[in-house]
Amino acid sequence: MKLLFVSLGCDKNLVDSEVMLGLIRDRGWEITDDENEAEAVVVNTCCFIHDAKEESINTLIEIGELKKTGKVKVLVAAGCLAQRYHDEIKEELPEVDAIIGTTAYEHIVEAVETAWNGKNYEKLEELSYLPKNETTRITTTGGHYAYLKIAEGCDKHCTYCIIPKIRGDFRSVPMEKLLEEASYLALNGVKELILVAQETTLYGKDIYGEKKLPELLRELCKISGLEWIRLLYCYPEEITDELIQVIREENKICNYLDMPIQHCADSILKRMGRRTSKAELVEIVTRLRREIPDICLRTTLITGFPGETEEDHKELLDFVDAMEFDRLGVFTYSPEENTAAAKMENQIDEKVKCRRQQELMELQQEIAFEKAEDSEGRRLMVMIEGSLPEDGVYIGRTYKDAPKVDGYIFVNSERELLSGELVPVYVTDAKDYDLIGELIQ
SS3 state at 98: strand
Interacting residues of 221 by C-beta distance below 8 A, sequence separation 6+: 229, 250, 251, 252, 253
Query: How far apart are the two ends of the chain, measured CA to CA in Å?
Result: 49
Nearest to 42 by CA among 15, 66, 6, 11: 6
> Residue 45 is which amino acid?
T
Q: Confirm or deny that 154 is annotated as ligand binding.
A: yes
* CA-to-CA dists, residue 398 to 122, 194, 437, angstroms: 44, 14, 11
Q: Tell which phi-psi region holds residue 161, choosing left (phi > 0), alpha (psi between -120 and 50) or beta.
A: beta
Side-chain half-sphere exposure of 320, counting CA atoms within 13 A:
31
Nearest to 198 by CA among 167, 219, 228, 241: 167
Q: What is the number of other CB atoms lying within 10 angstroms of the CB of residue 135?
A: 17
Count Cβ neighbours within 10 Å for each residue of 72-108 and write b for 16 or more, e otherwise.
bbbbbbbbbbbbbbbeebeeebebbbbbbbbbbbbbb
The helix, strand and coil proportions of the chain, stated in percent and rounded to the nearest 5, come to 40, 25, 40
Q: Confirm or deny that 47 is annotated as ligand binding.
A: no
Strands (E), 61-150: 74-79, 98-100, 121-123, 145-149
Edge-to-edge, what's the strand order for the sheet holding 40-45? 30-32, 2-7, 40-45, 74-79, 98-100, 121-123
Q: Confirm or deny that 80 is annotated as ligand binding.
A: yes
Q: Confirm or deny that 254 is annotated as ligand binding.
A: no
* DSSP states along 365-433: HHHHHHHHHHTTT-EEEEEEEEE-SSTTEEEEE-TT--TTTS--EEEE-SS---TT-EEEEEEEEEETT
β-pairing verdict for 422-431 and 409-412: unpaired
Interacting residues of 41 by C-beta distance below 8 A, sequence separation 6+: 3, 4, 5, 6, 35, 63, 66, 72, 74, 75, 76
The gap from C-alpha 125 to its chain's centroid, in whole angstroms, comes to 23
Q: Confirm or deny that 10 is annotated as ligand binding.
A: yes
- Which residues are annotated as part of the binding site? 10, 46, 80, 154, 158, 161
- Which residues are annotated as part of the binding site for [4Fe-4S] cluster? 10, 46, 80, 154, 158, 161
